[in-house]
Amino acid sequence: MKLQPPVRRSKENNMLIDAVTMRALEIRSTLKDGVVGGVGTLLKTVRRTVTRGGTRRLGSWLTSPETSVKIINDRLNLVEHFIASPKLLEDIRYKLKLTHDSQRLVQKMSLGRGDADDLVSLARTIIQTQDIVDCISSHLPRKKESLEVVKELIGRIEKLEELAARILRKELMTEKQLLETRLLDESMLSEHLVALKWTPSLGHILHIKSRTLPDMTEGILSSAISVGSSKSTHSYHLPEWTKLGSRIEMARLAIRAEEQKVLQDIRKQVILNIHALRRNAAVLDELDIAAGFAVLAKESGWVRPILNMSTEHKIVGGRHATVQRSLDDLGRTFVANDCWVGGEEGMWIITGPNMAGKSTFLRQNALISILAQTGSYVPADHAEIGIIDQIFSRVGSADDLYRSQSTFMVEMIETAYILKNATPRSFVIMDEVGRGTTVDDGFAIAGGVVRYLWEVCGCRVLFATHFHGLVELVEGWEKEEGKGKGKGKGKGRKKIGAYCTDLVEDEKGGWMFVHKLRKGVNKRSHAVKVARMAGLPQLALKTAEDILKAEKFKRGG
Ligand SMILES: Nc1ncnc2c1ncn2[C@@H]1O[C@H](COP(=O)(O)OP(=O)(O)OP(=O)(O)O)[C@@H](O)[C@H]1O
Ligand SMILES: [Mg+2]
């Protein structure tokens, strides 16, 4: 058995996404039911692959995006080439559909399994692969530097036609056919024979249909012994038939043995070519992913991201691919939002009412980065992204009672991990850190976390919170640092920007969410409105409103 060496993933070559973030961003499985590739996952939303291998590799690419600008651009060049050549795109996807999962097939062979059908599938895939290479080559313009990647990719394909021809024409077929003909010839009774059955006491006996019986009673059946009859069939025994039956059995065994021998021989040939077959399969996977990304970009109107080595994240008109799809299905419109962190402002503190899109905004920016570094176009009007080494997220609350961790403890463990590991090249999204405890303590913790991220980590941060007081707090620190508004100096720390979502009300008491982010702070959460929308009983709502009024009065509001 041949095992594949493990693939090493390192911070130098891949964007690291820890398990918590993977779950929170619903990349492969949903938070709710954990279904891999289910509705609501990034994988499901962006998957347009047509082969199993392509889908598998897409799942692995999305969970470990690249950090090399060159590799990402190579991938994007291929996607762009497919977008620019619709006929090629259509042909390639059609041809890819005709291939089989050769990774799985060779794995079967290397485990000593795999039947004649598997071998034929493998042979057809080899032939199809060559066809795909020819098709791509014929569409390649002579001199175009950006398409060197395409040449390099198809150049990796190893020619294996000889193996394919060997499988398809080999004795496997001819030998089997030969023996089968012999078997038929030897059973001279074939045209009358319904079935030659074996019984322990009489050996082989013949079952004959009642309607063919009159033609036969004069001939061969005259010396046979009747051993039973039913309305439709009659059974006869004759010693010669027992002999014939045994010969047929022998022939069948010979076929099986021959088949096994030939199969074994071809399996060996396949195993000798296992590396080439796997390499070819990998190329097909990459083509499938790129073609899928091209289809996705065209149907969704996505743009090609610009990747660079800065630490900026500049998105114009960004969208959340999955939320947008679900809103589209409901006939609602997704409101696009811009995001520019890592430039003048290193961190954005986002406030706003419940249900107004803070968490969605945080996630969409993380997902856009992941898609970009995977080599896909992205859901935005313009995207410039400085390569990210690691994405961190602290969103949602989940307790792990089995490991004796309360909700707040889990939140703190995850936050500590982020603060200790984030580098200036990292991207951090934090959603309502500090909400799992009293308001005062939660506010204090949130302040401590923001200050550490700003002062020590210096990474790109999107921080959504209902603690609007945080904005005043950080303005105080910025002043302290001599980096107050407009001064632009200090210890090289970037500014912290304050942005918010809104809720607009009319005179008649109607209201709606404004999902568009604007500069500033929103001090109102409008939680009671959301609670009413959710169907909280009238008495509970009324009490909540009274408490709110009393609190406001106490604070002199
Ligand atoms: N940009 C947008 N355009 C249109 N609808 C949006 C947008 N962002 C979010 N929504 C809708 O609003 C819902 C709630 O969004 P989200 O969970 O992001 O709100 P939130 O501000 O984080 O609320 P909370 O403070 O309660 O956590 C989403 O499920 C989606 O249906
Ligand atoms: Mg939220």
pLDDT in tens, the chain (557 residues): 556 677 776 777 899 999 989 989 999 888 777 777 788 899 999 999 999 999 999 999 999 999 999 999 999 999 999 999 999 999 999 999 999 998 899 888 888 887 778 888 888 899 899 999 999 988 877 776 667 777 777 788 778 777 777 776 654 455 555 555 555 555 545 555 557 778 888 788 877 777 766 665 666 677 788 888 888 788 888 877 777 777 777 877 877 777 777 778 888 888 888 888 898 999 999 999 999 999 999 999 999 999 999 999 999 999 999 999 999 999 999 999 999 999 889 999 999 888 889 999 999 999 999 999 999 999 999 999 999 999 999 987 554 455 556 788 888 999 999 999 999 999 999 998 888 888 889 999 999 999 999 989 999 999 999 998 999 998 888 887 765 444 444 456 888 999 999 888 887 778 888 899 999 998 887 888 888 888 899 999 999 989 988 887 776 65
Ligand 1 within 6 A of 395 CB?
A: no
Ligand nearest to the CA of 363: 1
Name 454's Cβ contacts closer than 8 Å, sequence gap at least 6.
346, 347, 461, 474, 477, 493, 494, 496
CA of 333 to the centre of ligand 1 (A): 12
CA of 360 to the centre of ligand 1 (A): 5
Pair (90, 181) in one structural domain: no
Number of domains making up the chain: 4
Cα 245 to its chain centre, rounded Å, is: 55
Pair (456, 519) in one structural domain: yes
User: H/E element holding 504?
Assistant: strand 495-505
Among 300, 303, 309, 361, residue whose Cα is nearest residue 335: 361
Rounded Cα distance between 88 and 71, Å, is: 23
Ligand nearest to the CA of 333: 1
Among 254, 285, 300, the domain-final residue is 300
Ligand 1 within 6 A of 335 CB?
A: yes
Is 17 a domain residue? no
Ligand nearest to the CA of 525: 1
Pair (141, 224) in one structural domain: no
Helix (H), strand (E), coil (C) string for 75-126: HHHHHHHHHHCHHHHHHHHHHHHCCCCHHHHHHHHHCCCCCHHHHHHHHHHH
Looking at residue 426, its pLDDT comes to 96
Helix (H, G, I), strand (E, B) or coil at 429: strand
Looking at residue 190, its pLDDT comes to 53
Pair (73, 189) in one structural domain: no
Backbone Cα Rg of the chain: 34
Place of tokens 């609670």: 531
Looking at residue 386, its pLDDT comes to 97
Looking at residue 401, its pLDDT comes to 53
Pair (140, 189) in one structural domain: no
Atom of ligand 1 nearest to the CA of 356: 21
Is 19 a domain residue? no
Pair (118, 203) in one structural domain: no
Is 31 a domain residue? no
Looking at residue 486, its pLDDT comes to 43
User: Is beta strand 345-351 parallel, antiparallel or unpaired with respect to 195-199?
Assistant: unpaired
Q: Specify the CATH number for the domain of residue 285.
A: 1.10.1420.10
Pair (212, 353) in one structural domain: no
Q: Specify the CATH number for the domain of residue 240.
A: 1.10.1420
- Read off the tokens for 421: 């590991």
Pair (392, 414) in one structural domain: yes
Looking at residue 266, its pLDDT comes to 80
Is 452 a domain residue? yes
Q: What letters, b where the CB count within 10 A reaches 16 and e where it falls short, cover 217-227? A: eeebbeebeee
Pair (440, 466) in one structural domain: yes
Ligand 1 within 6 A of 323 CB?
A: yes
Ligand 1 within 6 A of 83 CB?
A: no
CA of 357 to the centre of ligand 2 (A): 7
Pair (520, 532) in one structural domain: no
Q: Specify the CATH number for the domain of residue 381.
A: 3.40.50.300
Rounded Cα distance between 479 and 497, Å, is: 14
Residue of 323, 339, 397, 466 best suited for mutating to test ligand 1, as the one with most atoms within 8 Å of CB: 323
Beta strands per DSSP E along 124-231: 195-199, 203-209, 225-229
Looking at residue 93, its pLDDT comes to 96
Pair (317, 399) in one structural domain: yes
Ligand 1 within 6 A of 238 CB?
A: no
Dihedral class, residue 329 (left if φ above 0, else alpha if ψ from -120 to 50, else beta): alpha
Looking at residue 139, its pLDDT comes to 80
Residue of 319, 327, 360 best suited for mutating to test ligand 1, as the one with most atoms within 8 Å of CB: 360
Looking at residue 181, its pLDDT comes to 59
Pair (89, 204) in one structural domain: no
Is 38 a domain residue? no
Alpha helices in 454-537 (DSSP H): 469-480, 527-533
Rounded Cα distance between 143 and 133, Å, is: 18
Looking at residue 407, its pLDDT comes to 80
Structural domain boundaries enclosing 408? 306-524
Ligand 1 within 6 A of 429 CB?
A: no
Looking at residue 216, its pLDDT comes to 59
Ligand nearest to the CA of 353: 1
Looking at residue 53, its pLDDT comes to 95
Sign of torsion, CA 359 360 363 369?
negative
Looking at residue 447, its pLDDT comes to 94
Is 16 a domain residue? no
- Read off the tokens for 483: 């980096």
Rounded Cα distance between 219 and 473, Å, is: 109
Among 300, 315, 349, the domain-final residue is 300
Is 250 a domain residue? yes
Rounded Cα distance between 188 and 195, Å, is: 13
Is 419 a domain residue? yes
